[in-house]
A and B are shown apart, each in its own frame.
Chain A
Amino acid sequence: MADPRELMQRYQAGDASAFRELYALVAPRMLGYLNKLAKSRAVADDLLQQTFLKIHRARGAYVVGADPLPWFYSIAHRTFLDEARKTSRAVVRAGGDDLPEVPAGITGESADRADEPRADPELAKAALEALADLPTQQREAVVLTKLEGKSVAEAAAIAGTSVGAMKVRAHRGYEALRRLLGKKPKTATGEAA
C-alpha cells in the first residue's frame, strides 16, 4: 500500500495522479466518517468533495514527513461543522437509503477487511440510527474512537479539543448509545427478543 507521506510529496510536486492515489487510499474511510456524522449519504458525498477541494487548495501547508491523515480528518471535521452551522443544523435524518452501500470495487474496501465476515446489517442499522440521535460532539467522539479506531489523543486533535474533553464526550456518547439501543427492539442489539 502506498505511503500517504510519499503521495503528498508527489502531489505537492504537481503530480495529479498522486492526488488520485491519495483519494482512493483515504477517501473511503473519510466518507464513512462523514456519512456517520452527517447522517445523510448525499450530504456526506458533498462534504467529501468540499474536504478534498480544501485539501487541494491548502496543499502547500503540508509539512514534509508528517502524517497527513490527521490533518485531512481535521479539515473534514471543520467542513462538517461549517456546513452544519450554515444549514442551521437542518441536516437530513438518515433513512434506509443512507446506510453504507455494498462496495463496488475500484476504490474498494481496505485490504485488512477483505477477509472479515460480513457485518450484521440489522445490527449495523440499529447502531447507525442510535448514533444519529446523539448530539454532534458525542456522535463525533464515538465515531472517531469506536468506529474509526483513533486513539483519544488523535480524536481530540482532529476535533480541536482537549484529551479530557474528548474522553468525556466519548464516554457520554457511549452511555447515551446504551440508553438509545435499550429503547430499540431487543433483536436490534443481538439480544433475545
Chain B
Amino acid sequence: MSATDRPDVPAPAVDRALDALAAEAPPNLPELSAVLEAELASIAPVSPRRPIRQLGMFVAASLVYAGLLLAFLSLRADLSGLPMAWILGAGIAWFTGFSLATYFALVPARGTMRPRWRAALAITAVTSIAFIALGLDMHPSVPGVSLDYGMPRLLHGHGCLWLGLATALVPVVLGAIFLRGAVPVFSRWIAATLGAAGGCLGGLLLHMHCRIADGPHIGIIHGGVVVVAAALAALLVPRATDRPFK
C-alpha cells in the first residue's frame, strides 16, 4: 500500500501528537538585540492612548474644521426655501454616519485593544450605500434658486467631490495619527472606516453648502464622497498606522 493509500490517523492520535508538542518546554529566550537594548537605555515615558479622549478631540477638531470651511464657502442659497424636516433629517443622518464611523474606528471594546472591525466594516458599507440611495431618492429643490444638472451634466458637479474629499482630509489624517501603532491587523478596514467618517463629514458640509439639488448629483457625487474617501483611506492610511510595525 502506498503512503497516500494509508488511512488518516484517528483523531485521538493527532490530539496526542499535538498535546506532546504543546507540552514541550518553551525554547530558551535569545538575548535582547543591541538595537532594543540601546532604545531601552534611553527609554522615555509615553502617554497611553485614551480612545474616548481621542474621540472627543477628533469630533471637535473635525467639526471646527468643517465649520471654518463652511464659513469660508457660505451656506447654500436655497436653504430658506427647503423643507426644514429634510434639512435637519439629512443633516442628522450625515452627522450620525460621521459619529458612528469615528466611534467604531477609534474606540476598541472595553478591556481590549482590538478594533471593532466588524462594526466598522458594517458602518462603512451602510454609509457608502445609504447616502447614495437616499440622495438619489430624496432631493427637494427650490425652483429658480436650486440648480438642476441632471445625469447629462453630472460631471459638471465634480467640484463637490473634491470639496468633500478636502473636508475628509483632516479627520482622516487625525485618525491616522491617533491609531498609529494600535492596529497591527485589520488596519485596512479601520482605515476605510476613518475614510467613511471623513466622507460623511464632507457630505454634511456639502448638504449645507451646495445648491445643486438633482438626484444624480446628491446621490452619486455627495454620496460618492463617502465611497471615494473610504477607498482612498484604505489605500493610503495603513502606510501611516502600520509604520511602527514595518
- Chain A residues close to B by CB (< 8 Å): 9, 12-16, 19, 23-24, 27-29, 31-32, 35-36, 41, 44-45, 48-49, 52-54, 56-68, 70-71, 74-75, 77-79, 82, 99-104, 106-110, 113, 116-121, 123-124, 126-128, 130-131, 142, 146-147, 149, 157-160, 162, 174-175, 177-179, 181-183, 188-191
Contact = CB atoms under 8 A, between A and B. Distances in A.
A94 to B, nearest CB: 12
Contacts of A107: 26, 28-29
Contacts of A182: 6-9
Contacts of A61: 49, 113, 179-182, 244
Interface in B13-31: 13-14, 16-30
B32 interface: yes
Contacts of A179: 8
24 contacts: A14-B44, A31-B27, A32-B27, A36-B21, A49-B33, A56-B40, A57-B181, A63-B108, A68-B113, A71-B113, A104-B28, A119-B21, A120-B20, A124-B23, A127-B17, A131-B21, A147-B18, A147-B22, A158-B185, A182-B8, A183-B6, A189-B9, A189-B16, A190-B16
Contacts of A175: 8
Which 9 A/B pairs are nearest by Cβ-Cβ distance?
Answer: A160-B185, A58-B181, A28-B26, A119-B23, A14-B45, A61-B181, A123-B20, A127-B17, A61-B182
A162 B46 CA distance: 32
B245 A75 contact: yes
Contact of A159 (B23, B50, B114, B185): B185
A108 B7 CA distance: 40
Contacts of B48: 9, 12, 60, 62-64
Given A32-B26, A66-B108, A128 B39 contact: no
B43 A19 contact: yes
Contacts of B80: none
B51 interface: yes
Given A58-B181, A119-B20, A127-B20, A31 B6 contact: no
Nearest to A189: B13
By size class, the interface of chain B is 35 or more
Contacts of B184: 54, 71, 74-75, 77-78, 160
Contacts of A100: 24-27
Interface in B176-210: 179-182, 184-186
B52 to A, nearest CB: 10
A146 B145 CA distance: 67
Contacts of B180: 58, 61
A182 B1 CA distance: 12
Contacts of A67: 111-113
Contacts of B25: 100-103, 109, 113, 119
Contact of A101 (B21, B28, B49): B28
Contact of A31 (B29, B43, B246): B29
Contact of B45 (A12, A35, A74, A118): A12
